[in-house]
Amino acid sequence: MKRAFPILAIATVIFLGYATYQALVVAPTERTMGDVQRIFYYHVSSAWTAGLLFFINFVASIVYLARRSQKVDALALASAEVGVVFCTIVLVTGPIWARPVWGIWWTWDMRLTLTLVLWLIYVSYLLLRRFSSSGQTPVMAAVLAIFGTLDMPLVYFSIWFFRTQHPQPVMGNGGSIDPRMLHAFFVNLIAFTCFGLLVCWARYRLEVLRQEVEEMQALESLLEVRSSR
C-alpha cells in the first residue's frame, strides 16, 4: 500500500500534465466565448471531484457511526477538507468564466448554486469539528454530514423549481461540442478525479499519523505517573 502512493502520485502528475496540454493547447478555441471557455475543463471537473469527495465523506460518516473506527473518521475529515477546496475552485472559476462571457458575476445556475450550498454545509461541518470541545466530535460531525447529504435532493428540487419560475442564465457551452473538446474534457475529468483522490489520500495519511501521535501521547501520560510512584 505504501508503494502505491508515490506511483499514483507520479501517474497523476503526468496525467495532469497531459490534461493541461489538452485543455490549453489541443482543444480548439470556442467560437463565441474565446479562450475563457477553457475554464470549463477545470470548472466542471472540480465540481465532479468535489461531489465524489463529499460522497466519500457521506459514506465514511455512516460507516463511522456503525463501526466507530478512528481511521474511517480520518477519511471523513480528509474528504471533507479536500472537497471544500475543490468546491472553492468551482465557486471561483464560475464568476471568472461568467463575467467576460455573460456579463454577470453570479447566476443561480444549477451547478453553481448546488456547489455553493454544498460549500456552505461543509464549511459549517469543518467549523463544527474545529470548535467542538466534546470528546465525541466525530459522532457529531458524522450526524451533521448525514443531515447535509439528506438536504441535497431538497436543495436540488428547490433550485430547479426556482429556476423554472424565475428564468436564469445557464452557464454552459451551448450548442454542439467539438470531439476534441470532449476528449479534453474527459481527460481533465479523470485527471482531476485522480488528483483529488490523491490529495485526499495524503490528507488521510496525515490525519491517521496525527491520531497515532495523540494516542501515544495519551498512553505516555497514562504510564508516566504510574512509573514515578
> Cα angle vertex 39, ends 33, 42, to 5°?
150
Residue for grid cell 493547447: 25
Residues contacting residue 42 through CB under 8 Å, at least 6 positions apart: 23, 89, 93, 188, 192
Q: Identify which of residues 55 and 162 has a Cβ nearer to another protein in the complex.
A: 162
Q: Tell me the site size for another protein, rule CB under 8 A.
A: 39
Which residues neighbour 112 within 8 Å (Cβ) at sequence distance 6 or greater?
90, 91, 94, 106, 171
Angstrom CA distances, 3 to 31, 44, 50, 188, stand at: 45, 31, 26, 25
62/56 Cα distance (integer angstroms): 10
Q: How far is the CB of 102 from another protein (least distance, A)?
A: 23
Q: Which is nearer to another protein, 141 or 187 (CB)?
A: 141
Per-residue string for binding with another protein, 42-71, x by CB under 8 A?
-----------------------x------
Spatial distance between the Cα atoms of 46 and 193, rounded to a whole number of angstroms: 8
Cell of 219: 498512553
**DSSP single-letter state for residue 29:** P
Site string for another protein, 144-173 (x = CB under 8 A): x-xxx-xx--xx-xxx-xx--x--------
Pick from 82, 54, 57: nearest CA to 72: 57
- Contacts to another protein from residues 98-137, by CB under 8 A: 117, 120-121, 123-124, 127-128, 131-136
Which of the ranges 10-18, 86-94, 191-199, 210-218 carries the binding residues for another protein, by CB under 8 A?
Answer: 210-218
Nearest to 70 by CA among 218, 214, 197, 223: 214
Q: For another protein, which is the closer residue by CB, 165 or 176?
A: 165
Residue 222 engages another protein in binding (rule: CB under 8 A): yes
Stretch that binds another protein, among 32-40, 53-61, 143-151, 196-204 (CB under 8 A): 143-151
User: Which of residues 29 and 158 has its CB atom nearest to another protein in the complex?
Assistant: 158
> Nearer to another protein by C-beta: 146 or 202?
146
| Binding status of residue 143 toward another protein by CB under 8 A | yes
Report the 10 Å Cβ neighbour count for 129.
18
Q: Which is nearer to another protein, 19 or 142 (CB)?
A: 142
Query: Which residues contact another protein (rule: CB under 8 A)?
Result: 65, 117, 120-121, 123-124, 127-128, 131-136, 139-140, 143-144, 146-148, 150-151, 154-155, 157-159, 161-162, 165, 214, 217-218, 221-222, 225-226, 229
